[in-house]
Structure 1
């Protein structure tokens, strides 16, 4: 085992212990929570190591980094999540490798994805509506996403779009507004919105929340997926 392989194995084991402990504390089964490793800024070689360690779900937030990395790892059985703010001019590229786009925050993006999917793939593209808990009605959040009041309309647009599949909701703990510094409360609010959404869309039961610093709060609130990068891969290098 190389030094990097050992480092990633040790980090992954620690994260697994954290998730298992959080599940136990919340009275949940460990298999109720899926770990997505956020591999942004790290090379395809790390993705290969992670795959060898059992990781099957990875995430990226920049198409210019993700597209070549996904191509390099096309021989691996991986589910790729796109979690960054997505511009419509990148949509066609993203639909070639992403299995799930977690950052749906406007109808224009829904339309662009639906059109691109028709020309690029046969399988449906999973979509999560990104909820911005720092945004007011009709606004977008500082880190992307739509206000809670706008979730149902956007979700309906996803559900009606050919080639797209409404899988659920995603959020990032906000840095401003009433939930700033209150991760547990933020994730509990997301679960409330998810419960309301599932009345009309029962299959949209994925709730993606929590990162390296707050995954325990997300698990306690009921998240089904946590997105962990730094705790597995280390402190990220500066982007050029």
Structure 2
């Protein structure tokens, strides 16, 4: 069975190849380890193999891991849907939030961000495929949400995040990610982050400018959702 370190090595080679194919610097693409449902020891192993950034979807599980791994200088990203009653703990314990999709959540994160911490890095989640089951701001509502978030004092808007409808068709993957890139370009702001692409579509995401690819299964193996 492959180890986490071997999986990271394989993924790094994939990312490098995808970046080189479109004349991008591989260092401009970050590997965000999606560690939901995985035990703290797996994250420790991934850190030992060179990863520092970890994405979590479930708040209580993430807080438990943060305590267990407090001896490591990990950078924590919240990437799941956000309920209003969870914003304080997210504002206090994460460096990044990729899944902001409405102003109320952004306002609470800004108000509840501790003064001694730097501004919280924010990505706005956009629903580019129009799926009812997906979170995300509509492309039409994006400009107004961007303007409002930029006015909040304790947040730093970094860019957009998207989870397009899954498909194995490379042209469809490219088209969805190109839509996200075009939306970000249309904002005409100095944004530096596109959080998009997972194990099955990272090549297309990188071709369209992804700066974070969010990888879980290909890194840690299949998940057990029993506890959730």
Q: Is this a same-fold pair by TM over 0.5? A: yes
Size of the aligned set, in residue pairs, is 226
Structural RMSD (CA): 2.0
- The correspondence of residues 1-240 of structure 1 with structure 2, limited to 5 A, is 7-118=3-114, 121-135=116-130, 141-175=132-166, 182-197=172-187, 199=188, 201-202=189-190, 204-240=191-227
> 1:175 deviation in Å?
5.0
SS in 2 for 1:148: coil
CA gap 1:193/1:141 in 2 versus in 1, 3 angstroms: farther
TM-score, L = length of structure 1? 0.89
TM-score, L = length of structure 2? 0.93
Q: Is the 8 A contact 2:92 2:114 kept in 1?
A: no
State the distance in 1 between where 2:47 and 2:195 align: 21
Q: Which ranges of structure 1 fall in alignment gaps of 5 or more residues?
A: none
Q: Is the 8 A contact 1:134 1:142 kept in 2?
A: no
Q: Deviations over 1:146-181 (max 9, x none)?
A: 1111111111121111211111100001259xx9x8
Question: After TM superposition, where is structure 1 displaced by more than 2 Å over at least 4 residues in a row?
Answer: none
SS in 2 for 1:55: coil
Q: Which ranges of structure 2 fall in alignment gaps of 5 or more residues?
A: none
